[in-house]
């Protein structure tokens, strides 16, 4: 009886394995189809499912020291400006984190994309070195807002505003030398599902020189920003817990930014 069972195992075991192999193959194919047709981008990322996050651990020293600085910093506020109250909401807003990063990294050239009332530019002016160059981009002139900036800021510092659209590739190329020179780029644009994608695509197409350079993205938890954030393969880290409640991300773009092409489909 034992011999019969033994021979059955020899004969049928390989057949069973072959059937299992083809079943698993079919199952994986069906799961892949379901995944493709029903995929919803998640804002949650980790080392397991995001190569950019795995690479982002290389920024640990910068991140830890920037956060540590942010806890110690108390930003100046102007009681005459309604939005001044946001400067020192920490965590919850990104201004003290931005100040902490500038204080630690001491960037020489800083770019603020999305001037608006000038809160981020104000932090750059107050926490960068006096000889640093600061450039801010918007489509509306700074003094059309109840601004935290003044004429004297532009006179006393290397501080310039350009009223141009960096999502336009021709305009982007016009300012490419400046972007390449930047040590820190803060992207706080309209989050309209268009601008940020085009700007990042312009970065991808550019041949940036190899140097230490950080890109900070605001509002990475917005539904129309999640796909872009998840598609970035360059070293990155989600700093939302110490930045803006709607999402703050930092990316190391010391060389060309690497992004999965699916972001632009």
Domain-wise residue ranges, the chain: 1-39, 45-264
How many CA atoms does the CB half-sphere of 164 hold within 13 Å?
16
Which segments of the chain have a pLDDT < 50? Answer: none
pLDDT at 17: 73
User: pLDDT value at position 256?
Assistant: 87
Tokens of 209: 């020189």
Q: Provide the phi-psi class of 151: left if phi over 0, else alpha when psi is between -120 and 50, else beta.
A: alpha
Structure tokens at 238: 């989600």
CA distances from 89 to 147, 149, 245, 247 (A): 19, 20, 10, 14
> What does the pLDDT read at residue 19?
72
| pLDDT, tens only, 39-88 | 555 655 665 678 899 999 999 999 999 999 999 999 998 888 889 999 99
Specify whether the CB–CB gap between 195 and 236 falls below 8 A: no
Q: What is the pLDDT of residue 36?
A: 54
pTM, entire model = 0.83
pLDDT of residue 101: 98
Q: Which class does domain 45-264 fall in?
A: alpha beta
Q: Is 139 within 8 Å of 165 (Cβ atoms)?
A: yes
User: Which pLDDT score is estimated for 50?
Assistant: 83
In this structure, are residues 134 and 149 in contact, taking their beta carbons and an 8 Å threshold? no
């Amino acid at each position: 009886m034992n011999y019969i069972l033994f021979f059955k195992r020899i004969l049928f075991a390989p057949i069973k394995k072959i059937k299992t192999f083809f079943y698993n193959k079919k199952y994986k194919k069906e799961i892949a189809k379901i995944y493709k047709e029903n995929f919803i981008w998640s804002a949650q990322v980790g080392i397991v499912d995001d190569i950019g996050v795995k690479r982002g651990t290389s920024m640990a020293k910068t991140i830890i020291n920037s956060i540590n600085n942010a806890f110690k910093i108390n930003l100046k506020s102007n009681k005459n400006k309604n939005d001044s109250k946001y400067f020192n909401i920490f965590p919850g807003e990104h201004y003290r984190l931005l100040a902490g990063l500038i204080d630690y990294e001491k960037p020489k050239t800083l770019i603020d994309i999305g001037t608006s009332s000038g809160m981020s530019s104000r932090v750059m002016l107050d926490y960068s070195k006096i000889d640093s160059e600061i450039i801010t981009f918007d489509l509306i002139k700074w003094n059309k807002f109840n601004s935290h900036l003044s004429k004297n800021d532009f006179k006393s510092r290397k501080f310039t505003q350009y009223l141009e659209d960096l999502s336009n590739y021709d305009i982007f190329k016009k300012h490419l030398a400046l972007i390449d020179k930047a040590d820190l780029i803060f992207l706080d644009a309209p989050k309209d599902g268009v601008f940020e994608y085009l700007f990042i695509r312009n970065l991808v197409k550019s041949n940036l020189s190899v140097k230490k350079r950080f890109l900070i993205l605001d509002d990475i938890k917005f539904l129309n920003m999640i796909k872009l954030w998840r598609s970035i393969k360059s070293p990155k880290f989600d700093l939302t817990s110490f930045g803006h409640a709607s999402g703050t991300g930092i990316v190391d773009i010391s060389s060309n930014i690497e992004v999965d092409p699916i972001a632009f489909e």
